[in-house]
A and B are shown apart, each in its own frame.
Chain A
């Protein structure tokens, strides 16, 4: 197993500082979490803690992600920002004014390229119905994006890429998981639930990675920075969605490791993963995001998670040195 610095808390209890480490305690007793080996904590159940604990994990640089009962993201406890750069923030805002279109276009292009790689796998395995969509991704999308278009038009293309992608599920996923329409808040069928949960996990992972750079979380390029959340994280996670979230979903569903009747909450019309389903999904998600490969330029092994941070660095290079920002590409592995 690759190195894993994340813990997911599924049981009820109390997180506390015990001596110089973390203890999770409930009626079963204490469970010790080594402070030096943890970077992220996810609370997916009722967990209580006090300021002493928060102060302690803040000093250790651990981010704490909180979720509500339905598995929706409710927020992050974020250690005191150690990497602050006023200079970069000003220039990031300036870059937003100057080259928002360019960056947004590159993000959409990266999404379509990574989706292409993901879907092509199924085309190669005799799902010829996918051809029109693949051709559209390969030739039409870059052509549209070359034109001088407004940010709304860029976002429209992004929407089209995604909705046609969801539409293509019917060709290679089992019938239970076909998506009729992407529905959020709350999702109303199994596949929507998986997509929402996966995107949320990726979003929180990206927040933790951006935290390790000097970037300002609220100035984004593709998404409108007015939304009341860390929208840069939405931007940077986009290119990784097909690779991390959707590949995990396709694998689990294709191999029948996740089944509608077994792993979804029946009382809510199968529109919510139950606890076992969540565990299966998170386990596969963690394995995938920690999967390593040879980085062609760095000449060493890196994980997808690390590549999110590298994308952050690329964006800094764009902001400070005006280098072109090209998000991670599955084909080029960088």
Chain B
């Protein structure tokens, strides 16, 4: 297959960390959270999103690879071209808007 050379500038990141079975798992959740919030905006409990450069995406993925347990944990990153290339609808409470430029 041909290598994907598209420039993706906006990502959604979902993680499932196996934290029910051991204390080690709990530490891993905290570590993954810590890394993600450096690069992305916290959207829902285990979901991050935000615009991020290609170079920072590589850095983010490398950092994540170092802390997760590849046998147990599961992280998905959905990449889109930019924040204009999808539409979004929300149901229920939305008490903070992570994308807003105002805090």
Q: Using a CB–CB distance below 8 Å, which chain A residues touch chain B?
A: 1, 3-4, 6-11, 19-21, 24, 28, 31-37, 279, 282-283, 286
Establish whether residues B41 and A10, one from each chain, have CB atoms under 8 Å apart when the complex forms. no
Q: How far apart are the CA atoms of A34 and B42 in the complex, in Å?
A: 9
Chain B window 30-49, contacts with chain A (Cβ cutoff 8 Å), 1 for yes, 0 for no? 00001001111110000000
Residues of A within 8 A of B95 (CB): 28
Establish whether residues B39 and A36, one from each chain, have CB atoms under 8 Å apart when the complex forms. yes
B31 CB to nearest A CB, Å: 9
Establish whether residues A34 and B101, one from each chain, have CB atoms under 8 Å apart when the complex forms. no
Establish whether residues B84 and A31, one from each chain, have CB atoms under 8 Å apart when the complex forms. no
Residues of A within 8 A of B42 (CB): 32
Chain B window 78-103, contacts with chain A (Cβ cutoff 8 Å), 1 for yes, 0 for no? 00000110000000000110000111
The answer to the question of B52 belonging to the interface, with a C-beta cut-off of 8 Å to chain A, is yes
Establish whether residues B101 and A7, one from each chain, have CB atoms under 8 Å apart when the complex forms. yes
Residues of B within 8 A of A19 (CB): 34, 37-38
Establish whether residues B102 and A34, one from each chain, have CB atoms under 8 Å apart when the complex forms. no
Establish whether residues B101 and A3, one from each chain, have CB atoms under 8 Å apart when the complex forms. no
Establish whether residues B51 and A37, one from each chain, have CB atoms under 8 Å apart when the complex forms. yes
- Number of contact residues on B: which range applies? 10 to 19
Q: How far apart are the CA atoms of A20 and B101 in the complex, in Å?
A: 21
B88 CB to nearest A CB, Å: 12
Establish whether residues B52 and A36, one from each chain, have CB atoms under 8 Å apart when the complex forms. yes
B74 CB to nearest A CB, Å: 22
Establish whether residues B102 and A35, one from each chain, have CB atoms under 8 Å apart when the complex forms. no
Establish whether residues A21 and B103, one from each chain, have CB atoms under 8 Å apart when the complex forms. no
**CB within 8 A of B101: which of A6, A21, A31?**
A6
B81 CB to nearest A CB, Å: 13
Extra pairs beyond A1-B83, A7-B101, A28-B96 (14, CB < 8 Å): A1-B84, A6-B101, A7-B103, A9-B103, A24-B103, A34-B37, A34-B40, A34-B41, A36-B38, A37-B41, A37-B51, A37-B52, A282-B101, A283-B101
16 A–B contact pairs at CB < 8 A?
A7-B101, A8-B102, A9-B103, A19-B37, A21-B37, A31-B96, A32-B37, A33-B103, A34-B40, A36-B52, A37-B39, A37-B51, A282-B101, A282-B102, A283-B101, A286-B101
Closest 10 CB pairs of A and B: A32-B37, A19-B34, A21-B38, A36-B39, A9-B103, A21-B37, A32-B42, A8-B102, A10-B102, A1-B83
Residues of A within 8 A of B39 (CB): 34, 36-37
For A15, give the chain B residue with the smallest CB separation: B103
Establish whether residues B37 and A11, one from each chain, have CB atoms under 8 Å apart when the complex forms. no
Establish whether residues B101 and A4, one from each chain, have CB atoms under 8 Å apart when the complex forms. yes
Establish whether residues A37 and B103, one from each chain, have CB atoms under 8 Å apart when the complex forms. no
Residues of A within 8 A of B9 (CB): 3
Residues of A within 8 A of B7 (CB): none
Q: How far apart are the CA atoms of A4 and B51 in the complex, in Å?
A: 9
Among A6, A10, A20, A37, chain B packs the most CB atoms within 10 A around the CB of: A37
Residues of A within 8 A of B50 (CB): 34, 37
Q: How far apart are the CA atoms of A19 and B40 in the complex, in Å?
A: 14
B86 CB to nearest A CB, Å: 12
Residues of A within 8 A of B96 (CB): 28, 31
